[in-house]
Amino acid sequence: MAQIEPNKSGFIGVFDSGIGGLSVLQALRAEMPQERFVYWADRGFAPYGERSDEFVIERSHFVTQQLLAQGSLKALVVACNTATAVAIESLRATFPNLAFIGVEPALKPALAQTQTLRVGVMGTQGTLSSLRFDKLLRSVLADAKPKTCEFVLQACKGLALAIEQQTEKSLEDTQALEDLCAQHVQCMGSFGLEPGQIDTLVLGCTHYVFVQDILRKLVGPDVNIISTGEAVAKQTKRLTTPTSSHTETTKVSNQIQLWTTGSLEALQLAASRWLDLPAHHCQLFQTPSAK
């Protein structure tokens, strides 16, 4: 990995098992247009959501070390629900001087918005079966009392990987992806505003933002669909922006580097499609094959 040129204000790292975290990077760019970002797509080892906890922790530590080696890392956004759920506490313990910002399913905002008191949560098996998610769910339900709410959890096996693979297809060739989304949505039950229906859908994986249009058609126009990118961007800004209101206005214009351990072409296509970035922003990191 080529050495990143030093920047007096440092850079913000962002990583995910693939392209899903680009949805968070979109929000980060909008919230902090002056910042410099380095994004790591660990696609050669994706999807994290179907890997063991030990594997996800190992990869998360490896990626963090690679980014730290490149210069002044101001903060690291773990733009992956599974990596946040499984590895972020270990990362914070191992790298105590680095600010980590994780992502988690937006259960609290969903509880605040639902009227039918039935909320759907789509996520990977790794996220929904994690101790961190269980703790979050219990906390939200406890804080809601005496209000009661049912969270309908759907582990969407294969969906994150299908979204990764879709990047290499044409925008019109989406039938297989639509069928997979429909399968998972149908397993959750009825959506709508009537009593007993799910009126709020939480996207518990950063990849799923990229199929939000498909999901919207499936659940209908009245259902709230909630993701986490904007909240993560605001939290990152809070942790990395100097308290002084008189900050330097240097025009950095979102200097961005994107790295992948998988297909370089796939990352280039994703960067062009979702971030409007030309191919030269993307580079390949050579790494040993997955275990």
Active site residue 205: yes
- pTM of the complete model: 0.86
DSSP states along 191-224: BSSSTTSB-EEEE-SGGGGGGHHHHHHHH-TTSE
Q: Are residues 83 and 180 in the same domain?
A: no
Annotated catalytic residue, options 80, 156, 181, 282: 80
Q: Which residue has the tokens 């799923």?
A: 208
Q: Are residues 96 and 112 in the same domain?
A: no
Taking alpha carbons only, the member of 10, 12, 11 closest to residue 21 is 12
Annotated catalytic residue, options 149, 181, 187, 205: 205
The answer to whether residue 185 is domain-embedded is yes
Q: Are residues 115 and 213 in the same domain?
A: yes
The answer to whether residue 75 is domain-embedded is yes
The answer to whether residue 4 is domain-embedded is no
Taking alpha carbons only, the member of 277, 275, 255, 281 closest to residue 35 is 255
Q: What is the pLDDT along the chain (291 residues), one digit of tens a residue?
A: 544 343 446 999 999 999 999 999 999 999 999 999 999 999 999 889 889 999 999 999 999 999 999 889 999 999 999 999 999 999 999 999 999 999 999 999 999 999 999 999 999 999 999 999 999 999 999 998 888 999 999 999 999 999 988 887 767 789 999 999 999 999 999 999 999 999 999 999 999 999 999 999 999 999 999 999 999 999 999 999 875 444 444 444 458 999 999 999 999 999 998 899 999 999 999 755 544
Q: Are residues 122 and 21 in the same domain?
A: no
Active site residue 282: no
The answer to whether residue 3 is domain-embedded is no
The answer to whether residue 215 is domain-embedded is yes
Residues written for the chain: 291
Q: Are residues 116 and 220 in the same domain?
A: yes
Q: Are residues 46 and 92 in the same domain?
A: yes
Q: Are residues 193 and 97 in the same domain?
A: no
Give residue-wise pLDDT tens across range 175-203: 999 999 999 999 999 999 999 999 999 99
Q: Are residues 22 and 55 in the same domain?
A: yes
| C-alpha dihedral sign at 20, 271, 228, 86 | positive
Q: Which domain holds residue 73?
A: 11-103+230-284
Taking alpha carbons only, the member of 13, 87, 93, 12 closest to residue 48 is 87
The answer to whether residue 291 is domain-embedded is no
Q: How many domains does the chain have?
A: 2
Q: Which residue has the tokens 């505003």?
A: 193
Q: Given the DSSP bridges, would you call strands 73-78 and 282-284 parallel, antiparallel or unpaired? A: unpaired
- CATH number of the CATH domain containing 203: 3.40.50.1860
- What torsion do the CA atoms of 134, 140, 143, 144 make, to the nearest 10 degrees? -130
